Amino acid sequence: MLVSVCIPTYNGERFIVETLNSVLSQSHPHLDVVISDHGSSDSTLELVNAIGDERVRVVHMPRGRSIAENWNNAVAAGVASFVKVMGQDDVLYPDAIQSELSAISACESDVAFCFSDRDVIDPNGRTVFRPGRPFGNPKKLRSTDLLRSVVSSGANPIGEPVAVMFRKEAWHSIGGFRGEYVIDLDFYARLLMQYQGFWTGIRVGAFRVHADSWGSNLMARQFKIISLFGRLHHEQPSTIRRRDLVIGALRAVVRTPVRVIAQQVVGRR
């Protein structure tokens, strides 16, 4: 079964070869790898083209468009029914695609996405944080339960895109990605308005933290997360209770300075 792995890029020469090698060496070989380049001025595209794998295609996004538009451009170009979006600096572990594909394809169509554990690595590829198993054993999660868990956490317990695989038809049905800073979390929240999610319990890859990484502006990101939680409470007050909103906002405020300091330290390595 074919899977589209979509990698939005912009001046990603530092890590793009490592990222692509982790994708192309997957135990599941049936891949449609889409690079959507947002007008890179470095050697990103030369490095991609030099790999010479027929599974890799490059599409272009003109400069001046948003990050969300580049993500959507990548997904729109994909030809598979199941999609993984990942950062130009992230890494997949060898059985990631096979594990997630097995999980989501075994679910009913009301499950729009599956999500997994991931590591956090520094610029040199060293693991600096290994989250626990926040949802226990593999399971299908009701949308109401998962939304409440997201809001009350004050963060993004579903994880970055490298830890997620979704159905393309579900992406299309909600109008794709939108916004900034919390593009991924906003996407998951809107999916959960219509669908369910599945927790695999598997560790599938690594999200790289460095000074130029997507999501590096944590202060702005946390502000947008709190704003998103407020919107969810307004739209679904019976699901997202005021108690969930207050707890989540407090946790987001408390954690932000710690995360900013930690990212600055890790990003300089």
Closest CA to 164 of 125, 212, 215, 199: 199
- Could you report the per-residue pLDDT of 27-40, keeping only the tens digit for each? 999 999 999 999 99
* Over residues 17-24, mean pLDDT: 98
The strand pairing partners of 127, in sequence order, are 121
Write out the residue range of the structural domain in which residue 63 sits: 3-267
Q: How far is CA 3 from CA 76, 102, 201, 206, in A?
A: 13, 11, 20, 19
pLDDT band at residue 245 using 50, 70 and 90 as cut-offs: confident
Please, which residues have CB within 8 angstroms of residue 59's CB and are 6 or more apart in sequence? 34, 35, 36, 37, 73, 74, 77
Residue 254: its pLDDT value, please?
Answer: 74
Query: Does the pTM exceed 0.85?
Result: yes
Q: What is the DSSP string of the chain?
A: --EEEEEEESS-TTTHHHHHHHHHT-SS--EEEEEEE----SSHHHHHHHH--TTEEEEE--TT--HHHHHHHHHHH--SSEEEE--TT-EE-TTHHHHHHHHHHTS-TTEEEEEEEEEEE-TTS-EEE----TT-SSEEE-HHHHHHHHHHHTS-TT--GGGEEEEHHHHHHTTS--SSSSHHHHHHHHHTTT-EEEEEEEEEEEEE--TTSTT--HHHHHHHHHHHHHHHHHH-TTTS-HHHHHHHHHHHHHHHHHHHHHHHHHHT-
More confident of the two residues 252 and 246: 246
Residue 235: its pLDDT value, please?
Answer: 86
Q: How many domains does the chain divide into?
A: 1
- Could you report the per-residue pLDDT of 41-66, keeping only the tens digit for each? 999 999 999 999 999 999 999 988 99
Q: Which two tokens stand for residue 245?
A: 């909103």
- Could you report the per-residue pLDDT of 185-207, keeping only the tens digit for each? 999 999 999 999 999 999 999 99
| Dihedral over Cα of 252, 122, 209, 172: its sign | negative
| 85, pLDDT greater than 60 | yes
Contact (CB, 8 A) for 160 and 87: yes
* Over residues 162-190, mean pLDDT: 94
Q: What CATH number is attached to the domain comprising 20?
A: 3.90.550.10
Residue 258: its pLDDT value, please?
Answer: 47
Residue 229: its pLDDT value, please?
Answer: 86
- Could you report the per-residue pLDDT of 203-242, keeping only the tens digit for each? 999 999 877 655 545 566 677 888 888 888 888 888 888 8
| Percent of residues, the chain, with pLDDT higher than 90 | 69
Return the amino acid letter for 33. Answer: V
CA 199 vs. chain centroid, Å, equals 14
Residue 268: its pLDDT value, please?
Answer: 53
Contact (CB, 8 A) for 158 and 115: yes
Greatest mean pLDDT range, 53-62, 122-131, 244-253:
53-62
pLDDT band at residue 261 using 50, 70 and 90 as cut-offs: very low
Mean pLDDT score of the chain, rounded to an integer?
A: 90
